[in-house]
Structure formats: structure tokens, C-alpha cells
Structure 1
Amino acid sequence: MTISTIAGLLDHCAAERPNRPLLLDVAGATLTVSQVADLSSAATRWLRDAGVRPDMTVAWQLPSHINAAVTMLALSRMSVTQAPVLHLYREREVRTTLDVAGADILLVDPSTAGNAPADIPTVVIPDDLLDLLRTTPRPDAEPDGPRTTTDPHWVYFTSGTTGRPKGVRHTDASLLNASRGFVSHLGLGSYPDEVGNIAFPIAHVGGIIYVVATLLGDFPALLIPKVSVEELPGLLAEHRVTVSGASTAFYQMLLAAQIAAATDEMLMPSLRMLVGGGAACPPEVHHQVRQRLGIRVVHAYGMTEAPMICVSEATDTDEQLAGSAGRPIPGSQVRIAPSGEIEVRGDNLAAGYVDTEQWERALTADGWFRTGDRGHLRPDGRIVVTGRTKDLIIRKGENIAPDEIENELLAHPLVDDIAVLGQPDELRGELVCAVVRRSPRHRDVTLDELCAFLDDRGLMKQKWPERLVIVDEFPVTGLGKVAKSELARRITGGNP
């Protein structure tokens, strides 16, 4: 049987395995597959009563909890376009995303209601939504008419802390294909008593990919609405999570917790694998996770426009995991342009941008999507992502990749986290600036120590940092990536 829509997949799984757990929350509640199917169906009636109508664009801003997952799945049943908004955004950023999507209505909960602009109809989803839905009759049929797998009923937003985001239009087909590749490469659900978790914003495109993955792989996921280094290891241990992750920053958070623990015992003994994406994972982080946590990082490469382009495989060697971001999932095609830019096409590619002219400019003459990332393909078919084309530092006419310097300096004992960027310079064009996040565990590193370290590791002098800035925190995007443009603005403006 071919499942062509996300709602169809949910209902099929509910019929096949109604009592299997699907969604878990930090308070200990568990919803089975059939309960999620029933609640999401009942939620369609609740949403219509609240003012959601066919053909609307419905934006929602909710943290990563069960209410959000049920609302998202309910909207997937309706003839509307849903536009998830990261719960970390404030009013100005919410206003921008609503404008980009052309939203007709906004769904919030008590924690995000203060971000709602005054000029758009807003519905507050109560904290006790599930209790309300249990007494709401399930409709006899979906009254809005059938959805098709190729209708672009999803709008996601390109990440960043500055600038106007692009609205990315996805279909059920593109999201299902991305999730199928994710599950098959990682073998999710094949491990006994598999438990995943969503500790990143569920409004990110990875949220629906992961929810679909739980259905395809037949395993539950723990939703964590707020992540803190103090509580996260205990939550993962308490709920026996086997697969976790989000981004490199997430891996480093777990590493820091284990290193700081006054015990040799593993804080998260059930963990078998960390999975993430959003930005390249430096080889040094792979090695540290392997050494300190006793598990492997199985990283992926994707973006809002093309989720899960390449995914590492559970059977990959340590060298393949540390040295690449996996190989293309089924239906995903990757090529490297003569400029070194990664170009993609395939079943996981978005249907376009809300602004069609922006999408046309992003495509090559023969229809491949220009990612803006640099990289190369290895002989074993795996991809190595070396950085963003716009992040290149051009020093005296020579191209310098910040990622290479960052990867080397992460091995320095006095560096926990680092970002390397270019800064304007009259003599050089740009100079190399290293920005190091201050550590609570050791003293600050010096510029001379960084340069001596790179010298010992054989990097040419042109790649050595010429300026060092120590900051308490990095500005980050919704998935924990360092927002380099914002970081550059802060240190240039004298407000690190």
C-alpha cells in the first residue's frame, strides 16, 4: 500500500498498530498512535470552531510539546496551508514571517501569545487542549475535501537572526520522501525499545520529518519544549532515549554535561546514537563524543528547501561518520558545480518559494537548486560540506575557509566552542578573526596560543587568526547554529 499523505500515514498506522506509543512528554504522559489520530481528527473540528477556514494560510507558534504535534497533524488533515513559526521568535520576527507567508490567522499558546501582532486574528490554544479534544466529537469525514500529495500545503522559513526570511513551500510528498530516507539510512526503529526525542523547535522543518519518522519506524518520541544543560541529561536517562540530537551545539551541550559530572558513569546510559544536521559537524566533535559518551554521531546534511539531502548510515565506519555528512537518500541527487557549490534536485526538494521570482533565481538553467554551500563528493559517494560560499574569507586575494580553521582549533584544550569569520581590513581586504566562547571550565585562550597550535598542526600562516575576541555567548538561530552575520555585527559594534 502506497501512503501518499501524512494524514493518510497516521491513519494507516493507527489501524495497523493502534496501541503502540507515539508521543511522550516530560511529565510522563504517553499517547498511542490511535490516540494521536483521534485527537488530531477531533482538533480539525475544534480549529474550525475557532475560525480556521478552508484555503486559509494558518501560521502557528508553539513550543515542542504534544499540543503542537497534535495541532500540526490536525492542520495536515485540512484544506489549509500551515506555516510553522519558531517559538523562539519575538514579535518583530513573527510579524515578518506572517507577512512572508501571507498568513490569515495565527495560532499561539499562553507562552507565545505575547508575540502575536495586533492586526491578525489570533487563536490561543489552551494548555488543556488534549482534555478538550477528548470530549470533542470526531468528524464523520474530513469536510474540507481531499488533500493531494503534491499540493504545497506547508510553508517553512529559512533560518537566521537578521534579514528577511524566505518562505519555502513544501508538499506532503517532499516531506514524506525526506523522512523515508532519514529512517532507512539510520535504521530508526530497528533497535529494541527505540525511543527518539524532539528537543529542537518542532516548528522547524525537521519537526514534521521526525514525527513522520516515528510513524515509519514504529517508535515513540519524547518532546522537550525547553532544553537546558542542567535538565537534559536527566530527561534522556529517565525516558530511556536511545536516539537524540539536533545540531553540533546540542552535541556539545551533552559533552559538557558529561565532562562536568563528578562521576565516571554515563549520565545517559540508554543513548546509542546522536543524530543532527543544520551545519557541518567538525571531526573533533565526533571524536570527543565517541571518547566521552561512548557513542557515535551520525550526522546529516539538509536545509529548509531540501530536508535530508544526505544522511550518514548506522553502518558507516568512524572515519566515514567523522569525515562526511553521509550519502544522498533515495530520490535525492547531488552534484558539485565547477565553482565548488553544492547543487541538488530530487523528490525531497521544495515546490518553490512563496516568492516565485526568488525561486527562479535560485535554480540553475537546467533546474538544479543552488544551495549556497561549498563541498565535494568523496569516492565512496559521501558528501563533505566545507562551508557557505558567502562565508569564505578573501585575504589578499586568497580564499580561506573558516570551517577548516574552526575544525582544527576545536582540538585545542582551551577552546570549547569557536567561530571564525572575516573582518574588513584595508591592507588585506579581510583579516581572519577567531571568536571563542568563554568556558566555565578553564582560563581564556590567547591569540598567540591559537597561532602556535595551528603552526604545530601544519596550517599555513595565512590561515592563522589575526584577531581574537572572547564572548560569553554566541547568537544562534533556531536550531542552534551560530548566526555569524549577527556575531560579526556585535563584535564590530563593540558589543560582544
Structure 2
Amino acid sequence: MTAGTIAGLLDECAADRPQRPLLRDVEGHSLTVSDVAALTSAAAQWLWDAGIRPGMTVAWQMPATVNAAIVMLGLARMPVVQAPVLHLYRLREVRSAVEVANADILLVDESTASDAPQMPTVTVPPDLLARLETVTATAHPEFDGPAPTDPRWVYFTSGTTGRPKGVRHTDATLLRAARGYVSHLGVGSHPKELGTIAFPIAHVGGMVYLACALLGDFPVLLVPKVTAENLPRLIAEHEVTVTGASTAFYQMLNTAQMSAPTADLLMPSLRMLIGGGAACPPEVHRQVREHLRVPVVHAYGMTEAPMICVSEFTDSEEQLANSAGRPIPGSEVRISAGGEIELRGENLTPGYTDREQWQHARTEDGWFRSGDRGHLRPDGRIVVTGRTKDLIIRKGENVAPDELENELLAHPLVDEIAVLGQPDELRGELVCAVVRRSPRHRDVTLDELCTFLDERGLMKQKWPERLVVVDEFPLTGLGKVAKSELARQIAGGTS
């Protein structure tokens, strides 16, 4: 596939393999590549009829449904900027996002309409596909000409003030990420390959993963709502071979398997878990291999640069468990003197919507400061050791939450854990362990955690001084633990 734009890639695939399946919903309805190409052409006309014109910035907020995928690909045919908004956002977050993107219009569906701010809004009907069947696409000369390097996407990432940053992308940056992901993972190589978008499709990974499906020639199952109860069932029913999102996603599937009343695999069709976002601790790799009997093939990426480094399906167990892979073609990584990961390359955003923010985010020689700590191994793979802002400084000693989380995940009474720093007058910060309550066993105690770390040889300065047990972790759109929100929630709690 040689197309330089997303719409061009879709049309090229439709011409080459029109009857290959591409999109599937949870009820089992399927659309071929040619179906999707035709429907998205009709969607572009439907969007035109709804008032969308060249040069507009179009925000949209929908869960991971076939309708959302068709709207997104329909907008990709038009000379507009689209700003996908996570369907989990409520009114305040949606308002901030559309303001940051300077959006002219907002598309919603029945599930998100109640959180739309006061602005021009169009509701996408539940029967969109049936309506598109009756639409006759008209040739619009204005639709011709968008270049692969035109900034036509705005995604959102959290800012230090709570207001999101607007991250621009081009078709070229998203396709570079997708090509690297496919080549390293080998997705599409299984004869019955079926992937999933079981995370918000409005995340940057949504479009990247759809591009992966086109490049790798495999269909994807769209899952609009993910729960610990329905996901294993859907994976088994549809015989999904590849799924994933984040470390929390892996842990959810692992816990479901461990809680099953039988030793039989709940999801026997799975051949690997894939994903990115936060680092995946080696202990999680070990547990997934033991209980799900598949490898975790993890990646390192962010909204500003999707799929920076990706593990390879041919990597050894040691490489998979202890690194996040090596840079994809076109992506460059270096480590600063202070241990921060810095980036440049063909998958990197051309900038934020706020130019001043973009200037502050780069080094004098033009590399992007990721905000992550890490190091490169002799084999060229990257090890991500955490966020620079998550580092706990206790009495002048640096404590890395990732190290403690990995160690404590091996405790038999810990299924999921987050370690964070809390303000303390005497120490500067104290180490707080937050454990998610498990239905499988009693709660762990602080003394038991400290004894366990003592037995594993960690110095006392790293031991948690506070333990909080919670029923649920607050999560980001991609399923990572939202540590800033978690810290706020437990600030007034007791040990």
C-alpha cells in the first residue's frame, strides 16, 4: 500500500481487495472494505448536507462504534480539521476540548448529546448506515487537494492546569505510526486475524489502529463499552486473536481468567496482547503468560508521537518483559543527560495548537521532551522507567513508583496497585501504595507490603508509609490509572 493519505489508503484497499471484511460490531454485523469506502463517501456528502464546509474544524464525540468509524473516515475525505473528543468526557471537559481546538461544529450521538456545550451541534442518528445507503455522493471540487502533510487532526492530552493540550497530526504522521506498528507486531499474519478497538476510538490510537487494519489486511471488532464481564465473553464469541490497550486492560483480562471457576482458557483464540501508554511491569508480563498463556507485546507511544517504540513478535520473553521494543522506522529516540526520553521523527506531531506550549516542549536543537524517564539497552530497545513528574522525592532520595509497583504486583494479595507520592512536611513526600480491592482474597496490610519488600531486598527508604485500599481506580481514556485524580480522591482518606 503506497497511498499517502488515509482516504487514499482506504480507496486503494477497496480496489485491491473489495470483499475483505474490515469493520465488525458486537452483534456480529460486518462491513467489507468496499462497503466502508462507499459508506464514507456517502458520509462526506451527509456531512456536507449537515453544514460542514472546507476549512472548518469539526469536533466529534462518540464511543467506539461502526458509526464513529464511518464518520471519522468520512471526515478524512474532506478538507477539514477533525478533533476527536473522548466519549468519556463530560460537559466541562468537552467545552475545554472544543475551545482548545477552536472547533466550528460538534458531532455527537445519542450517548454524548447531553454533554454538548452551547455551540453548533449535529446529532449522528443511530441508523446512520441505513441513511447513508440512500445518499448519492456528489463530486465536490473543494474536496480535492489535501496533502498528507497538512495538519488535519487535533487530539487532546492532559495539561498541567487541567486544560487539555491540542496535539496536531497529519495523515502522514498517523500512517507512519501505523506502518511501524504493523511491521514490528506482524498483525495480519494469522490466517484468521481479528483485532479490536476496545478503547475510545477518539484516542489517537483509534485512527492509527484502523490504518493498521487496512495495512495488515485484517478486520476489527468495535467495542463501545468495555467491562470486566463483557470483554472476555466478546473476545471468545468473536474468536478475537489480538486485543489490548493498556496495562490495566491486560490486568482486567488476567483477573477474569484467574477468577474463572475452571482452568480452561476463557479466551482460547487469543494469540497476543498488544498496547501501549504506561509501561507494562515485568510482573504483569509473567502473570499474563502464566494465566492467559499468551505474550504481551507492548509498545511505547503518546498522543504527540504514536508508536515510538514497538516490541516485535519475534522478541524473546526477556526482551518483551523488560523493554517496550525498539524505534519504528522513521522514529528517533535519545536520552538526555538527566535521563529524559527525547524524540523526533516522522510520527511526531508538527506541534500543539498553542505555539508557545510547543516551543517550551522542545530542546534548543528541536527534539521533543517527552516527560518520560528511561534508558536505551545495548540491543536498541527502550526501557521506560516512569514519568519525570511521578518521581517521588522522599528526604532527598528518588523513589521510582514503577519499581515498587512491579515488586508489589508479585505479592499474592495484590492484583492491581498504584504507587504515588503525597505531600509531607517532614519528608517532603511520603510513599503511598494504593491497592485495588480484589474479589478473590482479603485486603493486604501495610505491614505485609513492607515485610514483602524487605524480603526482596529493597531499602527501607522505598517502603510505602501509607496504604489505601480502593474499590476502583480512576482511569484515563486509554485505561491507564489517572494518578493525579487518584491522588485527589485519597488526599483526605485514612491509611
TM bin, normalised by shorter chain, reads over 0.9
Tell me which residue corresponds to 1:89: 89
Name 1:467's counterpart in structure 2: 466
- 1:180 counterpart residue number: 179
Q: Is the 1:157–1:304 contact (alpha carbons within 8 Å) kept by the matching residues of 2?
A: yes
The answer on whether the counterparts of 2:79 and 2:142 sit within 8 Å (CA) in structure 1 is no
CA contact (8 A) 2:78 2:143 kept: yes
Classify the secondary structure of the residue corresponding to 2:95.
helix
Q: 2:48 corresponds to which residue?
A: 48
Contact 1:41 1:139 in 2 (8 A): no
**CA drift at 1:445:** 0.5
Unpaired runs of at least 5, structure 2: none
Match of 1:14 in 2: 14
| CA gap 1:248/1:307 in 2 versus in 1, 3 angstroms | same
CA contact (8 A) 2:434 2:468 kept: yes
Q: What is the deviation of 1:228? A: 1.1
Q: Distance in 1 between matches of 2:449 and 2:69?
A: 45
1:232 corresponds to which residue? 231
Q: Which amino acid aligns with 1:40?
A: T
Q: Secondary structure at the match of 2:59?
A: strand
Whether contact under 8 Å (2:156, 2:165) holds in the other structure is yes
Partner secondary structure for residue 74 of structure 2: helix
CA distance change for structure 1 residues 434 and 360 in 2, over 3 Å: closer, same or farther? same
Deviations 1:27-52 (A, max 9, x none): 11100000000000010110011111
1:117 aligns with 2:125: no
For 1:188 and 1:231, the matched residues in 2 are separated by: 24
Q: Distance in 2 between matches of 1:166 and 1:140?
A: 36
* Sequence identity percentage: 74
Query: What is aligned with 2:254?
Result: 255
Match of 1:348 in 2: 347
Question: Is 2:476 aligned against 1:448?
Answer: no
State how far apart, in whole Å, the 2-side matches of 1:57 and 1:141 are.
Answer: 18
**Structure 1 residue 161: deviation in Å?**
10
Shift of 1:493: 2.8
Q: C-alpha deviations, 1:236-284, integer Å up to 9, x for none?
A: 1111110000111111111111111111111111100000111000111
Moved more, 367-376 or 263-272: 263-272
Aligned runs of 1:373-452 on 2, under 5 Å? 373-452=372-451
* CA shift for structure 1 position 140: 3.7
Letter of the 1:352 partner, please give it: G
CA deviation after TM superposition for structure 1 residue 141, in Å: 5.3
How far apart are the structure 2 equivalents of 1:425 and 1:300?
Answer: 35
Q: Structure 2 counterpart of 1:465, which letter? A: P
Where does structure 1 differ by over 2 angstroms across 4 or more consecutive aligned residues?
A: 138-145, 159-162, 493-496
Written as runs of structure 1 = structure 2, the 5 A alignment for 1:191-270 is 191-270=190-269
- Residues 166 and 353, structure 1, Cα contact 8 Å, conserved in 2: yes
Letter in 2 for 1:434: A
Give the Cα separation in 2 of the matches to 1:375 and 1:242: 31
State whether residues 109 and 124 of structure 2, in contact with CA within 8 Å, keep that contact through their aligned partners in structure 1.
yes
Alpha-carbon deviation of 1:162? 7.1
The question of whether the paired residues in 2 share the 8 Å contact of 1:162 and 1:485 is answered with no
Structure 1 residue 494, shift from structure 2 partner:
3.2
Note if contact 1:161-1:483 (Cα within 8 Å) is conserved in structure 2: no
User: Comparing 333-342 with 226-235, which one deviates more in the overlay?
Assistant: 226-235
Q: Which residue of 2 aligns with 1:491?
A: 490
Structure 2 SS opposite 1:52: coil
Give the gaps of 5 or more residues in structure 1: none
Name 1:28's counterpart in structure 2.
28
Q: Give the letter aligned to residue 124 of structure 1.
A: T
Conservation of the 8 A alpha-carbon contact between 1:161 and 1:486: no
Name 1:275's counterpart in structure 2: 274
- Superposition CA RMSD, Å: 1.3
Offset from partner CA, 1:182-230 (integer Å, 9 cap, x none):
0000011111111101000000000000000000000000000001111
**Which of 290-299 and 143-152 deviates more?**
143-152
Aligned mates of 1:293, 1:142 — CA distance in 2: 52
Displacement after TM superposition at 1:139 (Å):
2.7
Would you say how many aligned residue pairs link Structure 1 and Structure 2? 495
Q: Distance in 1 between matches of 2:223 and 2:475?
A: 19
Deviation at 1:491, TM superposition (A): 1.2
Q: 1:458 to 1:468 in 2, by over 3 A?
A: same
Q: Contact 2:437–2:472 at 8 Å: present in 1 too?
A: yes
SS state at 2:143 partner: coil
- How many Å separate the matches in 2 of 1:91 and 1:285? 35
